[in-house]
Homo-oligomer: A and B are copies of this chain.
Amino acid sequence: MVTLEDVAKQAGVSLATASRVLNGSTRQVGAALRARVEQAADELGYRANIAAQTLARGAGNVIGIVVHDLTDPYFAALADGAMRAAATEGLLVMVGTTHRDPEQEIAYVATLNAQRVRAVLLVGSRVADPAVTGRLRDELARYRSGGGRAACVGQDLLGVDTVAPANREGAAELARALAGLGHTRFAVLAGPPHLVTAADRCAGFAGALEDLGLPAPHVIHGPFDRDGGYAAAQQVGEDTTCVFAVNDVMAVGALAACRERGIRVPEDVSVAGFDDIVTLRDHVPALTTVRLPLKNMGARALELALGEEEAVVVEQVAGEVVLRESVRRLV
Please tell me if A80 contacts chain B, counting CB pairs below 8 Å: yes
- The residue that A79 contacts in the complex, of B70, B109, B110, with Cβ under 8 A, is B70
A103: interface (CB < 8 Å):
yes
Contacting residues, chain B, for A62 (C-beta < 8 A): 111
Interface residues of A in 101-116 (CB under 8 A from B): 103-104, 106-111, 114-115
- Is A36 interfacial (CB 8 A cutoff)? no
Residues 67-89 of A, flagged 1 when their CB comes within 8 A of B and 0 if not, give 00111010011011001100100
Least CB separation from A295: chain B residue? B71
Closest to A77 in B: B71
The answer on a CB contact under 8 Å between B64 and A94 is yes
User: Are B92 and A111 in contact, with the CB atoms below 8 A?
Assistant: yes
Chain B residues near A80: list those with CB within 8 A. 69-71, 97
CB-based contact A115/B226 at 8 Å:
no
Q: Please, which residues of chain B bring their CB within 8 A of the CB of A108?
A: 92
Interface string of A52-73 (1 = CB under 8 A from B): 1111001101101000011101
Contacts of A44 in B (CB 8 A): none
Q: Is A95 an interface residue (CB 8 A)?
A: yes
State how many copies of this chain the complex holds: 2
Contact between B70 and A111 (Cβ–Cβ < 8 Å)?
no
Q: Given A104-B50, A107-B51, A107-B53, is A95 in contact with B92 using a C-beta cutoff of 8 Å?
A: no
**Bound Cα distance A79, B69 (Å):** 11
**Is there a chain B Cβ closer than 8 Å to A259's Cβ?**
yes
Which segment, of A164-172, A174-182, A278-286, faces chain B?
Answer: A278-286
Interface size on A, residues (CB 8 A): 54
In the complex, A246 has a CB within 8 A of chain B: no
Nearest CB of B to A237, in Å: 23
What distance in Å separates the Cβ of A323 from its nearest Cβ neighbour in chain B? 19
Q: Is the CB of B107 within 8 A of A54?
A: yes
Specify the main secondary structure of chain A where it touches its partner: helix
Chain B CB within 8 A of A93 CB: yes
CA distance A203 to B61 in the complex (A): 40
Complex Cα–Cα for A169 and B94 (A): 34
Q: Is A271 an interface residue (CB 8 A)?
A: no
* Contact among B84, B94, B252 for A282, CB-based, below 8 A: B252
- Is A255 an interface residue, CB under 8 A from the partner? yes
B107 lies within 8 A of A139 (CB): no
Give the Cβ gap from A330 to chain B, nearest Cβ, in Å: 24
A329 is an interface residue with CB less than 8 A from chain B? no
A235 contacts chain B at the CB level, 8 A cutoff: no
Output the nearest chain B residue to A285 by Cβ-Cβ distance: B284
Shortest distance between the CB of A75 and any CB in chain B (Å): 9
Contact B103 A55 (CB under 8 A): no
Q: Is the CB of A139 within 8 A of B51?
A: yes
Q: Top 9 A-B pairs ranked by shortest CB distance?
A: A50-B107, A94-B94, A51-B110, A95-B95, A51-B107, A71-B76, A54-B111, A256-B282, A284-B284
User: 16 extra interchain contacts, Cβ-Cβ under 8 A, other than A80-B97, A94-B94, A259-B284?
Assistant: A49-B103, A51-B103, A51-B106, A54-B111, A59-B114, A62-B111, A70-B70, A70-B76, A70-B79, A70-B83, A84-B99, A92-B108, A93-B97, A115-B115, A252-B282, A255-B282
